[in-house]
Amino acid sequence: MLRVYLDHAATTPVRPEVVEEMLPYFTEKFGNPSSIYRIGWENRSVLDDARDRIAAQLAADSSEIIFTSGGSEADNLAIKGYALANQKRGKHIITTSVEHHAVLDTAKYMEKLGFEVTFLPVDEYGLVSPKQLAEAIRPDTILVSIMYANNEVGTIMPIKELAKVAREARVAFHTDAVQAGGSLSLDVQDLGVDMLSLSAHKFYGPKGVGLLYVRKGIRLDPLIHGGGQERRRRAGTENVPGIVGMAKALELANAEREENMRRITALRDKLILGLRDRIPEIKLNGHPTQRLPNNVNISIKYIEGESLLLNLDMKGIAASSGSACTSGSLEPSHVLLAMGVPHEIAHGSLRLTLGRETTEEEIDYVLAELPPIVEKLRAMSPLYQE
Ligand X SMILES: Cc1ncc(COP(=O)(O)O)c(C=O)c1O
Q: Which of residues 341-380 bind another protein (CB under 8 A)?
A: 343-344, 347, 379-380
Main-chain dihedrals φ then ψ at residue 173, nearest 5 degrees: -125, 120
71 binds, among ligand X, another protein, none (CB under 5 to 8 A by kind): ligand X
* Cβ nearer to ligand X, comparing 201 with 356: 201
Q: Which of 147, 211, 246, 264 binds ligand X (CB under 6 A)?
A: 147
Q: Which one of ligand X, another protein, none is in contact with 330 (Cβ closer than 5 to 8 A by kind)?
A: another protein
Q: Are 94 and 83 in contact (CB under 8 A)?
A: no
In angstroms, give the least distance from the CB of 350 to another protein: 14
In this structure, the number of other CB atoms found within 10 A of the CB of residue 267 comes to 19
Q: Which one, 254 or 295, has the nearer CB to ligand X?
A: 295
Name which of 10 and 325 has its Cβ closer to another protein: 325
Q: How many residues bind another protein (CB under 8 A)?
A: 23
| 306 near another protein, judged by CB under 8 A | yes
Beta strands per DSSP E along the chain: 4-5, 65-68, 92-96, 116-120, 141-145, 172-176, 195-199, 210-214, 282-284, 295-300, 317-318, 349-353
Q: Which residue has the CB atom at the shortest distance from ligand X? A: 71
Residue among 307 and 320 whose Cβ is closer to another protein: 307
Q: Of 213, 200, 197, 183, give the one whose Cα is nearest residue 241.
A: 200
List active site positions.
325
Q: Which of 92, 300, 74 is nearest to 202 (CA)?
A: 74
Closest approach, Cβ 353 to another protein, in A, equals 22
Full DSSP string of 311-340: HHHHTTEE-B--SHHHHSSSS--HHHHHTT
Contacts of ligand X in 313-352 (CB under 6 A): none
**Contacted by 70, from another protein, ligand X, none: CB < 5 to 8 Å by type:** ligand X
Cα–Cα distance for residue pair 154/267, rounded to 1 Å? 15
Q: For residue 66, which of 278, 274, 266, 220 has the smallest C-alpha distance?
A: 220
Distance CA 23, CA 335 (A): 38
Count of C-beta atoms within a 10 Å radius of residue 290: 15
Footprint of ligand X on 152-211 (CB under 6 A): 176, 178-179, 199, 201, 210
Return residues touching another protein (CB under 8 A): 302-307, 310-311, 314, 323-325, 330-332, 343-344, 347, 379-383
